[in-house]
Amino acid sequence: MEGQQERRNVGEKEGGQPSRNSGQTGSEPKEHRIDIVEISPKELKAAGIHLKRSRTSFLTDISFKSCFFCGYLKLPQIIIDDFTKPKFLNIVAYEMCQDGPYDYAVTSYMCFLYDIIDHADDVKELRSKHILSNLLGSDEDVAQLFNEISNDLVDPEAYKDVKDRIQEHYNKRMNTWIAQALHDHFSTPWTIIAFIAAVLILFLTRVNCDLCVFFLFGVYD
C-alpha cells in the first residue's frame, strides 16, 4: 500500500494547477534562487551556464559541472518525430504503475526538459548545440509537444542534485557578472583580438616610457 500511495503522489498534482516551478519546493526560500523553469538556454548562457551534448544518448546522462565562472550543463541527444509523443506518454504511464521501475527515468527527463523548453527559441538553441534533432516540424511544434506531455507531471526530483549545483553556481554573483561582461563585450573574435591588442599597446607603451626614463637620466647599474 505504501508503494502504491507513493506512486499516486508522484502521478498526481497537488492543488490541481500545473506549475512550471518543479525545481523548487515550498520549504525552500524563494529569495536569491534561480527559477530554472523560467530560464531559457540563452539566459542560462548569459549567467555563465553553457549547454553541451552528453557523450551518450542515455536519458539519464544529465550532468552539470562548474569551472571557475563558467558552468556546463550536459544533456543527452534526443530525436523528436511523430512517434515521440505517444512513445513517451506510454513510458510515463508505465512508470506510474505500481509494478513499474522506481527510477522514473523518462518522467524525470521529460520534467527536466520541460523546465528548459518553453518557446521555439529554446528549441532552436538546443538544436544549435546538437542536443535536439527536430524531425517533427517547426520548433514551435516541439515546444508545444513538451508542454503537452509534461504539463501535468510532478517532477520525481531525480535530477535535484543537478539543479542544486546550477543554483549554487548562479548564487555566486561574481560568476554572473563575469559571464555577462564576456557575453556583452567579447561575444565575437574581433572584440577579443581588439582587447588583446589594446593590452599589448598599453604594455609596450609602459616599456617605452621606462626605457626613455632609463636613458634620459643615465641610470646605470
At 19-57, the pLDDT tens digits run: 444 444 444 443 444 555 456 787 787 777 889 999 998
* Structural domain spans, the chain: 2-175, 188-216
* C-beta of residue 55 within 8 angstroms of C-beta of residue 164: no
Give the mean pLDDT of 79-108.
90
Predicted confidence at residue 136, as pLDDT, reads 93
At 100-154, the pLDDT tens digits run: 788 888 999 999 998 899 899 999 999 999 999 999 999 999 999 998 998 888 8
Question: How do 70-75 and 49-53 pair as beta strands?
Answer: parallel
Task: Give the span between the Cα atoms of 92 and 179, in whole angstroms.
Answer: 37
The residue type found at 215 is: F
Q: What 3 state SS string does the chain have?
A: CHHHHHHHHHHCCCCCCCCCCCCCCCCCCCCCCCCHHHCCHHHHHHCCEEEEECCCCCCCCCEEEEECCEEEEEECCEEECCCHHHHHHHHHHHHHCCCCCCCCHHHHHHHHHHHHCCCHHHHHHHHHCCCEEECCCCHHHHHHHHHHHHCCCCCCCCCHHHHHHHHHHHHCHHHHHHHHHHHHHCCCHHHHHHHHHHHHHHHHHHHHHHHHHHHHCCCCC
At 165-213, the pLDDT tens digits run: 888 877 776 656 555 655 555 556 666 566 677 777 777 787 777 777 6
**Distant-in-sequence contacts of 81-90, Cβ < 8 A, 24+ apart:** 81/135, 81/136, 82/135, 82/136, 84/136, 84/145, 85/145, 85/148, 85/149, 88/149, 89/149
Question: How do 132-134 and 78-80 pair as beta strands?
Answer: parallel
